[in-house]
Amino acid sequence: MKRLPTILLAALLVAPLALAGCAGDKDAPAGTDTEQGEDGDEEADDADDVAAGDAAHGAEVYAGTCSSCHGPDAMGIEGLGKNLHANAFVADRSDTEMLAFVKTGRPASDPLNTTGVDMPPKGGNPALSDQDLMDVIAHVRTLK
Ligand code: HEC
């Protein structure tokens, strides 16, 4: 009488292992999918390098570096910087693209420049880290 339950027990123990094996097999392609997703998804790439932006810290970065041209309220200053509220350029770009833009700026010589005024790299503050810039981007995204 003791044999049968032991076999049943063994079957019960083996079954989850077999299922785990199957799940493991399923995980492999899923993992591959995730990698493909990261390659294609720029927001996922951000997570590898810098954490998601902290808008509260970004507001401080903005006040210290960006406000001199874009205005303390980010409504823009004629001849210095553009209005960043409900900004289509910002809305159309991923965080990665925004990071690349803010790091590079947009000189007046750039054909894409719209005002004939320089946007300097990092707003002219080379001390800003990528994380600072991600934070300021998160702040700019809160401007409606
Ligand atoms: C020295 C002045 C100056 C500073 C400082 C500055 N900007 Fe700019 N920024 C500009 C100008 C001028 C433009 C517009 C360039 C053009 O004519 O296309 C611009 C454009 C932009 C744009 C694109 C807007 C659009 O509609 O094309 C973004 C986003 C932006 N700035 C973000 C920032 C952030 C974030 C900071 C702070 C880290 C910053 N800027 C600091 C002058 C400045």
Question: Which one has a higher pLDDT value, 120 or 10?
Answer: 120
Is pLDDT at 129 greater than 70 in this prediction?
Answer: yes
- Tokens matching residue 71: 């205005």
The mean pLDDT value for 117-136 works out to 98
Residue 32: CB atoms within 10 A of its CB come to 10
**76, 82 Cβ separation under 8 angstroms:** yes
- Ligand 1 atom closest to Cα of residue 115: 17
pLDDT mean over 41-57: 70
**Contacts (Cβ under 8 Å, ≥6 apart) of 73:** none
Assess whether the C-beta atom of 77 lies below 6 angstroms from ligand 1: no
- Please check the confidence at residue 60 and state whether its pLDDT lies above 90: yes
For the ranges 17-21, 66-70, 88-92, the lowest mean pLDDT is seen at 17-21
Average pLDDT over residues 101-114: 97
- Mean pLDDT over 27-32 rounds to 45
Does 90 sit in the ligand 1 pocket, CB within 6 Å?
yes
Distance 40 CA to ligand 1 centre (A): 27
Cα–Cα distance for residue pair 76/69, rounded to 1 Å: 7
Q: Report how far ligand 1's centroid is from the alpha carbon of 29 (Å).
A: 43
Q: What is the pLDDT of residues 76-104, one digit of tens each?
A: 999 999 999 999 999 999 999 999 999 99
Amino acid 51: pLDDT: 84
CB-count exposure of residue 62 (10 Å: 0-12, 13-18, 19+): buried
Contact in structure between 83 and 91 (CB atoms under 8 Å) = no
| Residues 96-113, mean pLDDT to the nearest whole number | 97
Ligand 1 center–CA 47 separation, angstroms: 24
In the numeric block, which tokens belong to residue 87? 């900004």
